[in-house]
Structure 1
Amino acid sequence: MPQRAATIVGGGIGGLAAAIALHRRGWRVEVLERAPEFTEIGAGISLWPNALRALDALGLADTVRALGAVEAAGGVRDRKGRWLTRTDNAELTRRFGHPLLVLHRADLLRALAEALPADSLRPDSEVSQVRDDDHGPVVEHPGGASRPDLVIGADGLRSAVRGALWPRAADPRYAGYTAWRMVTEPLADPPAEGAATWGRGERFGYTALPGGRMYCFATASLPAGTISDSSEHDELLRRFGSWPDPIPRLLAVVPPDAVLRHDLYDLPPLPSFVRGRVALLGDAAHAMTPNLGQGACQALEDAVTLAHCLDSAPDDLAAALHSYDLLRRPRTQAITRRSARLGDMGQLAWPPAVLLRDTAARLMPAWATLRSMTPVLGWTAPGEQSTTTENETP
């Protein structure tokens, strides 16, 4: 059988993971990335047990775990610093087989890129056209035109692949709030637990990275495109500088030029993740808000599932892609909705609603919180036995 070829558009986490999964199955892969290099200027990233199982299927779980820090415990606090919910991550590991791992996005991307042949990575390759005709898919880029067996659109929220082949798809929708992300300088005494603090229309969270650094994130309900009057660091100090410890202490050790700000969007449901011999994955298929920490986790699941489906029907690409769509679309769209609902709850600003939210969170036992996450975290790679101790089906 001739070697099959795949062109992956987008060199982020999902695109590289898909390339790895196919390369290890004997496919010839090329990854087209419009940026001049395969890197990530972002901040931290949380990898939940389902993502680590996907990395396990790629043979990279141990490599990635060595780059991150396992969060020992965490939870949600109110505006006065009182705990609303707390989670012991040892229990998370017991239930789902893996811990919650936090690392820098750049470290994860580097580990994925290093798992591929250097000649399969093609930076500075912005795609100018994608089409799928009777002779197969075509991708045009500065290096020429590729005509592979399969095209994978992993090019993010504003996907060029989705725009070309899903022209009637709805535009990404603004979630109603903006977000800041940052990494602190190393602290001599970093907080022992991560936490998200909920205020009124604002949130601030933090979790540990290796080396005493902390990954911090914040949100505020604002019209899309709002620009700060001062620097983003000054804006954070204005909004959160008087919040409960350790938030002011963390902001004091954030380099002023290290603050990233992005308005948050998600993607309305697509009728299919597949068109002809083109498949979408990651944010190109199901961009979601970060409230569940599942964006990259779901992209990794996509990559592993797509490769498995292609394995299961090696002589029938259409059947394989149909199986991928059936497996991934309902799950990821449900998680997108769930993440949006959690974000809406976290951004509540009306005082009576905030009081009701905080009271309900305080009354919910920790075991119920973990149990409610089983459909998300209990995912198992296709063909592998589940290690989840709960009875719910992912």
Structure 2
Amino acid sequence: MPSPTCPPRRRLLLGATLGALLPALPVQAQKVATPSPRAPEIVQIVDISASQLDVSRDFLIGSRAAWQDFNARGGMRGRPVQHTVLEVDGSPASLRQALDSVRASPQCLALCGTAGDRTAASLVQLLGQEALDIAHVAPWLHQDVIAGAERTFPIFASRQEQIAHALRSLSVIGVAELGVVYASAPEQVLYHPEVSRIARDLGLRLAPYAPNGPLQQLGRRLTPQTPAILLFIGGTPELAQFTLGLEQQDRQRYVIGLADVNLQTLNQLGQSRNTPVMATQVVPMVTSSLPIVRAYRETLTRLFDEPPTPQSLAGYIAARYAQEVLLGLEPAATRAQVLQAFQKRSVLDLAGFRISFQSQRRTSAYVTQSMLGANGRILG
């Protein structure tokens, strides 16, 4: 039976609207490419639990497209790379089982493109506890500081960078208070300490809200004293439910979603037309003329019948980053040599998407922002 804090999206939205949009994800350890058994292998761990499926699905599509295209162009100096996908259900036991599978696969050179954020963060901690020297490359990870992250190489902007960008773009840095709405009580427990720290760094008082029932009811229950600007921590269908509840509010609200929110899907799910919704993105706009984005759109169109989304573009960029490092190695490179190559943290320009580091910290945070308007148009 679902938890009382489980958003109604799991029953009403995922099973209905999203069910028609989501193709079957690969079974655990399914091989996306079909090279020889001893081919170098990259493993991608994806969380297919209900709360993470939205991001994981699109992120995986982008990664798949990039790896298939990479092998079609010759792979790792003439050797195709096996892209193996391991599904997890969000539980510690499932993640540990996946990591045990990686440990038992000596041809696995690196973990790349772990999704979603909670599983990526858990994997960072698990790698810190385990005696497994393997590179954890370009995960869908938005925590700024995580203990035991020596083997993890993030390339996407943190929540702090996303929130700061959103507030600057709205010209509201001077506001005294920011409301933060968590999609569920468990997400409040998981993310509130980090969000509180971010609010302190930005000089803001924080007013937290979490549902003890449907998110639509939470939207209805807000009072005139609730801050006008609300940061939403959660996924797309949860945000759709919350904004529908805001329709009965007299006070104008502004909702800021982070990179887990897909505005195209939000529009399809019936988002309230009375509430402006902004969402940060950690990649360029999918309509951008940057060479990396043009290559992504061409590859996606050629290989999959899927519309471009920021999340699948992120998956594509994650794979491209790993590929650039692999191309600098011999095809027979070991796992340890691959880890050493990533530890150099060389500056890379992925056809317009620049990745750079200072010591062990990424310094090239890329954040853009879009808004879903009342007419259903998405403006960058």
Whether TM-score is above 0.5 comes out as no
* Greater strand proportion: 1
Q: What is the TM-score normalised by the length of structure 2?
A: 0.32
Q: What is the TM-score normalised by the length of structure 1?
A: 0.32
